[in-house]
């Protein structure tokens, strides 16, 4: 099967606020041992917490598994205690950074404008932002999911983005960590709507931009989700902390 417009699937693991040094190295080693036999077409990416980036990055160095971060500040440096700038992440060997994750938007009150600024900061540092958008259960239940998420994407898109320097991730907020997933028809409809919104802003580059699905993806449902037209990979939460589960998802990407 040929990827549309050359879009190679991306399987990204978001470790969130989990892992100490010993656990992280054990997980990295297990992924390294199994990645060669995963057999999928997709690229593999892990996004550990900031405390583990250097350690995991050193372990993955020279492998086919990419390193990414979970957030960045919109400024390249300055008096911002506790924050991490995109150039610092690039300096550690990161290639990607997640911006606008629903947990950041909810827990830290991040607006679309802030997410856009972070995505632009990532691109300026030659990182690829994984721009997250998604709806709450209340929005879904009132029938506004497609319109709300498309508007969220439009307001969060970094200026000048193209298919090589942007990844979009659709994460239904109500499905993250709950074990619930939308139907494949719902997933397909949302990815189609997001692609249409990208075309409005990016023209032909929209066809080269990967759109991932994120929301309780696991080994048992990955093949069905990844087979949905327009789904170019997965942003994986809890299942990315288990090497066998994450590798099973990678296997399903072929």
Active site includes 3?
no
Q: Is 156 labelled a binding residue?
A: no
| Distance from C-alpha of 233 to C-alpha of 4, rounded to nearest angstrom | 12
Tokens found for residue 235: 């942003």
Task: In whole angstroms, give the CA distance from residue 221 to residue 227.
Answer: 10
Write the Ramachandran bin of 19: left for phi over 0, alpha for psi from -120 to 50, otherwise beta. left
**CA angle at 234 for the pair 57 and 250, rounded to the nearest 5°:** 70
18 known member of a binding site: no
Q: Which residue is catalytic, options 110, 120, 135, 171?
A: 171
Please check if 14 is assigned to a binding site. yes
200-204-223-242 Cα dihedral, nearest 10 degrees: -80
Is 15 marked as a binding-site residue?
A: yes
177 is in an annotated binding site: yes
| Residues 6 or more apart in contact with residue 57 via CB below 8 angstroms | 67, 92, 93, 94
Nearest 5°: the CA angle 205, 209, 212 is 160
Is 237 a known ligand-binding residue? yes
Encoded tokens for 98: 């997640």
Cβ-count burial of 152 within 10 angstroms (0-12 exposed, 13-18 middle, 19+ buried)? Answer: buried
- DSSP 3-state of 3: coil
Single out the catalytic residue among 43, 66, 73, 101.
101
Q: Which of 146, 137, 144 is nearest to 215 (CA)?
A: 137
Please indicate if the annotation marks 216 as binding a ligand: yes
What would the two tokens of residue 137 be?
């259960």
* 171 classed as catalytic: yes
Active-site positions read 101, 171
Residue set of the binding site for substrate: 14-16, 177, 216, 237-238
Which positions make up the binding site? 14-16, 177, 216, 237-238
């Amino acid at each position: 099967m040929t990827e549309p417009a050359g879009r190679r699937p991306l399987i990204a693991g978001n470790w969130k606020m989990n892992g100490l040094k010993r656990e992280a190295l054990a997980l990295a080693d297990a992924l390294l041992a199994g990645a060669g036999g995963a057999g999928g077409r997709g690229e593999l990416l892990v996004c550990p917490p900031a405390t583990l980036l250097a350690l995991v990055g050193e372990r993955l160095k020279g492998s086919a598994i990419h390193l990414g971060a979970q957030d960045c500040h919109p400024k390249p440096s300055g008096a911002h205690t506790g924050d991490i700038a995109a150039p610092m992440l690039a300096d550690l060997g990161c290639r990607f950074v997640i911006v606008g994750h629903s947990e950041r938007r909810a827990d830290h009150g991040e607006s679309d404008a802030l997410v856009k600024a972070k995505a632009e900061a990532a691109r300026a540092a030659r990182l690829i932002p994984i721009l997250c958008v998604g709806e709450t259960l209340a929005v879904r239940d009132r029938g506004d999911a497609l319109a709300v998420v498309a508007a969220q994407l439009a307001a969060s898109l970094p200026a000048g983005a193209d298919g090589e320097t942007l990844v979009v991730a659709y994460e239904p907020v109500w499905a993250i960590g709950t074990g619930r997933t939308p139907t494949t028809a719902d997933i397909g409809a949302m990815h189609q709507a997001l692609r249409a919104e990208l075309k409005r802003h990016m023209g032909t580059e929209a066809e080269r931009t990967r759109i991932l699905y994120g929301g309780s993806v696991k080994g048992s449902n990955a093949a069905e989700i990844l087979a949905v037209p327009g789904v170019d990979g997965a942003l994986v939460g809890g299942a990315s902390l288990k090497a066998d589960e994450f590798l099973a998802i990678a296997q399903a990407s072929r």
